[in-house]
Structure 1
Amino acid sequence: MNSFELLAGGFQAAFHFHNFLTIIVGLMVGVIAGALPGISFVNAMAMALPFTYVMEPTQSMLFLGGIYCGGVFGGSISAIMINVPGTPASLPATWEGYPMTRKGEVKRALAIAVTASATGGLASALMLAFLSAPFATFALKFSQPEFFAATILGLVSVVAIAKDRPIVTLISLLLGIAVGTVGVDPLYGQARFSFGVPEMESGIRFVVVMIGLFAISEVIDLLVTNRDLRPKNGSGKGLGLKIADILRVKGAIFRGTGLGCVIGLIPGAGATPGAVIAYGVEKQISKRSDDFGSGVDEGLAAPESAKNATTGAAMVPLLTLGIPGSAATAIMLAAMMIHGVNPGPLLFIMDPSMVYTIFAAMIIANILMIFAGVGVAQIFSTLMKTPPVIMAAFIIVLSVVGAYGVRNNIFDVHVCLAFGVLGWGMKRIGFPTAPLVLGVILGPLAERYFLTSLANAHQDWTVFFTRPISATILALALAFVLWSLWPNIRSVWRRLSHRYA
């Protein structure tokens, strides 16, 4: 049987009443969990894992797959509406989506986000169905040096949001990396920067930092400035999305989808680097690059499509090689192992019906995500109509509960509040907070991959440049930096030329 016949059989199985209901329930759980800061869809998948014991193997994968697809998008709902990213991958949605909300275009921003996310997710699901084998062969060539290079590419993409202040942006990024080093050394197990505080030895979680910098600081700014978050009755743009708006951002959606599919194939990369890199690339090629940060459609569409495009791509190394490409797929791997299913090339031969039912479910989930996203967004839209003081109280309660729920530790709540005050101060003086968050998220990953690579290569640092794929990615990172800083370099060169002419 060819791929089309197998996929048709997969759709038939996926549309069975119990399987279809499982997909819908998983999708709704994922969207809601993703939209709630501090909960995250990965935690939801972990908590849902015991419920899969009583399910059939295929049904358990459909349930977890639905949570995965819905959760990656769900974080953008709170990011757009209240400037609180529900997941790290939704961070770029705060840069463009929330400014649109402040201009009274919340419905339009949500429509762009859900359309772009569904398009990216659907494209990656189709890629998963038809191009798994060749892409899996390519992903198998990745090792620790390649992971390090990919993480560096994600870090340098922060230059794209630097605008005319690269030095300030770099300082913020380095501060975030420094915060990420607090805790125990990943290779030698030694405590560092804990200053004798036992709670700090377990590290500072990026979710806690993110909630503080975005949620708590936003509440402080809201109360200080007495700003009204309720939607304005402005232009017609606030009424929804038109077909012309989609056509206008179709290029950004396609570029983000392509980047997300490629980055999602890299085990360990995930949705966050995909979204950030897509945002950086889009800012560089957009004719409105100077307006990024004020609510640009392309700046919202590109990362939204990219992060959902990583979902199906991350499933490729899981199903074909048995290598989980993200934390979410690692949980799905555990579910498969619980049911005695061993992912790998033999799975396509021994149980192709299960594989193609999963493929069909991913396609169905991404289509249904539009309706699920709109439904959950309506709940948040109701909250947006409340007075600012009540909204502030709601955000504080949600943030404190989310911060405490990360590790059930009151210390995390204190850290969250401290970063909230820091974030408000940075906002008041015009210091960017986004690079700090990226440093906290990607810094520890880069360090772990760097140290592991050196340990495996007997401390030979040239391993990053002698491996073709790693060297290529690092070269792309360097080119990206030079491309981003070229206007500044050219300006300095002209001033020096005029001075010494």
Structure 2
Amino acid sequence: MQTINLLLAGFQSAFELAAFITVVVGLLVGVIAGALPGISFVNAMAMALPFTYAMGATQAMLFLGGIYVGGVFGGSISAIMINVPGTPASLPSTWDGYAMTRKGQVKRALTIAVTASATGGLVSALMLTFLSAPFASFAMRFSQPEFFAATVLGLVSVIAIAKDKPIITLISLLIGMAIGTVGVDPLYGQARFSFGIPEVESGIRFVVVMIGLFAIGEVVDLVASNRDLRPKKTDGKPERVRLRDILAVKGAILRGTGIGCMIGVIPGAGATPGAVIAYGVEKQINPRGAEFGTGVEAGLAAPEAAKNATTGAAMVPLLTLGIPGSAATAIMLAAMMLQGVNPGPLLFIMDPSMVYTIFAAMIIANVLMIGAGFGVAQMFSTLMRTPPAILAAFIVVLSLIGAYGVRNNIFDVYVCLVFGVLGWAMKRVGFPSAPLVLGVILGPLAERYFLTAVANSRQDYSVFFTRPISATILFIAFVFVLWSLWPTLKSRIGRQPA
């Protein structure tokens, strides 16, 4: 009862004019920043951090929280409409979302994406409100072995994404992991695969790789094939999206939401593993799993729900333990500390008004995201009516600016262009590029967690199997691999002569 009263008081504070405008402005900034390729919402939060100096602690958290909620969804707009993920977590949305756009179902795809994202975010915000303490105590049991196991689960989920090309997909994943090792060793500080080039020693950022493979590669393919990036128009009257269309994918939305909430509460996991795992699980469970990648609604709904479900879940360890659950919440932690606020269990006792105002604002932001998402999507629809040559030039310029802005380094622009040509070549020969990107993203995380866990256990490699949580997650990953490969193995066994 006390929680309900505090939440109602939080809603009252959040609906005050200044607080409400702060949430709305932050939400719009996040959606736009997430939708623009190369301009991620995390960068937008980092750039917004200095502006929070002039705000109060609660207002600063409302502003950054709005950017966080809007930005996680915003990346899906460009992913669905032009096959360019605005954020790494939006990568799975390209697989079925853009396929729906090419069929002339862009409105249906955006409606499903917004609904799934809002549902996942709203459920995670409610979880943040009512289940913070239990989830925080569970997250306290996670250490480096558990983080490694969770990352491995994300990596093996790529196998489920592979349709009939598990070997090629595995090769693409391993290439991506190899690219992720370029730079300085995370444990010993030694340069690897830099070949004496100083710029390479700082590593190859996954954002630059992603922009090159998808944005630049898409434009090169457009120019080479004289293809129109604009979505096809449906014959007759515009297709209406009805409630039954949303209810048809309610199972995928609920499963994605549950996975996102579980992954998001793990410190350091973030939205990308949640979206990838949700897509892989849904591909195995859904009756139309074999059709995933051709424009199946459930293949879009599951990762959309999952990635937004990580937003509220990632704030659980932040507010209750003072541990950021993602890069975005790390910026929010910095904002709180700049305001002289120390997150942790005492915060719920010393300043419950601030805590529950944040809870209420997260709920409000996820509801308002429906309107904000459609508004920004309409802006992109207007953009896509421009001639393909102008649209391609716009994407290239924006992508190169985004690549340069990652570290303000011209070397990243060159890397982006190289991967753009590589992405076009991979697309032409049918070599999957998505596993490569996921390998670049998750490979370094797995390496860092593995090396740290082994070093802390004094070279005892059994630590991953003697700890119950990490052993359970690794067992699930092993079962997931067998489950994914079983149809292929079964067909090959059936073809063998008696």
Mind listing any 5+ residue stretches in structure 1 that lack a counterpart?
A: none
1:128 alignment partner, SS class: helix
Write out per-residue CA displacement over residues 220-246 of structure 1, whole angstroms, 9 at most, x where no aligned residue. 111111112223221579634211110
Residues 111, 240 of structure 1: 8 Å contact kept: no
Write out per-residue CA displacement over residues 243-285 of structure 1, whole angstroms, 9 at most, x where no aligned residue. 1110100100000000000100100101000000000001111
Correspondence for 1:337: 337
Matched AA of 1:442: L
Correspondence for 2:285: 285
Matched AA of 2:253: I
Correspondence for 1:35: 35
CA distance in 2, matches of 1:131, 1:371: 28
**1:233-312 residue pairs with structure 2 within 5 A?**
233-235=233-235, 239-312=239-312
Shift in alpha-carbon separation, 1:386–1:439, aligned structure 2, 3 A: same
Write out per-residue CA displacement over residues 450-484 of structure 1, whole angstroms, 9 at most, x where no aligned residue. 00000100011100000000000000000100000
1:194 alignment partner, SS class: coil
Correspondence for 1:228: 228
Write out per-residue CA displacement over residues 312-348 of structure 1, whole angstroms, 9 at most, x where no aligned residue. 0000011111111011111111111111111111111
Query: How far apart are 1:99 and its partner, in Å?
Result: 1.0
Correspondence for 1:172: 172
Query: How far apart are 1:494 and its partner, in Å?
Result: 2.3
Write out per-residue CA displacement over residues 77-110 of structure 1, whole angstroms, 9 at most, x where no aligned residue. 1111111111000000111111111111111111
Matched AA of 1:204: I
Correspondence for 1:10: 10
2:341 alignment partner, SS class: coil
Shift in alpha-carbon separation, 1:491–1:231, aligned structure 2, 3 A: closer
Write out per-residue CA displacement over residues 152-199 of structure 1, whole angstroms, 9 at most, x where no aligned residue. 000000001111111000000000000000000000000010111111
CA distance in 2, matches of 1:488, 1:131: 41
* TM-score, normalised by the number of residues in structure 2: 0.99
Residues 107, 238 of structure 1: 8 Å contact kept: no
CA distance in 1, matches of 2:231, 2:211: 23
**RMSD of equivalent CA atoms:** 1.1
Correspondence for 1:379: 379
CA distance in 2, matches of 1:476, 1:237: 47
Shift in alpha-carbon separation, 1:265–1:6, aligned structure 2, 3 A: same
Residues 106, 238 of structure 1: 8 Å contact kept: no
Shift in alpha-carbon separation, 1:240–1:218, aligned structure 2, 3 A: farther
Correspondence for 2:428: 428
Query: How far apart are 1:383 and its partner, in Å?
Result: 1.0
1:239 alignment partner, SS class: coil
Shift in alpha-carbon separation, 1:236–1:142, aligned structure 2, 3 A: farther
Correspondence for 1:189: 189
Residues 105, 238 of structure 1: 8 Å contact kept: no
CA distance in 1, matches of 2:107, 2:188: 50
Mind listing any 5+ residue stretches in structure 2 that lack a counterpart?
A: none
Correspondence for 1:68: 68
Among all aligned residue pairs of Structure 1 and Structure 2, give the percentage whose two residues are the same amino acid. Answer: 79
**1:367 counterpart = 2:367:** yes
Correspondence for 1:415: 415
**1:389 counterpart = 2:372:** no
CA distance in 2, matches of 1:317, 1:161: 30
**1:399 counterpart = 2:399:** yes
CA distance in 1, matches of 2:239, 2:381: 13
Correspondence for 1:80: 80
CA distance in 2, matches of 1:176, 1:28: 33
CA distance in 1, matches of 2:469, 2:300: 30
Greater displacement, 287-296 / 428-437: 287-296
Residues 105, 237 of structure 1: 8 Å contact kept: no
Correspondence for 1:161: 161
Correspondence for 1:120: 120
* TM-score, normalised by the number of residues in structure 1: 0.98
Matched AA of 2:77: I
Matched AA of 1:264: G
1:412 alignment partner, SS class: helix
Correspondence for 1:148: 148
Greater displacement, 79-88 / 485-494: 485-494
Write out per-residue CA displacement over residues 135-159 of structure 1, whole angstroms, 9 at most, x where no aligned residue. 1100110000000000000000000
CA distance in 2, matches of 1:354, 1:481: 44
Greater displacement, 8-17 / 342-351: 342-351
CA distance in 1, matches of 2:460, 2:238: 56
Matched AA of 1:107: K
1:204 alignment partner, SS class: coil
Aligned residues: 498
Shift in alpha-carbon separation, 1:194–1:248, aligned structure 2, 3 A: same
2:213 alignment partner, SS class: helix
CA distance in 2, matches of 1:404, 1:99: 29
Write out per-residue CA displacement over residues 352-374 of structure 1, whole angstroms, 9 at most, x where no aligned residue. 11100000000000000111111
Residues 260, 306 of structure 1: 8 Å contact kept: yes
CA distance in 1, matches of 2:3, 2:350: 15
Shift in alpha-carbon separation, 1:270–1:62, aligned structure 2, 3 A: same
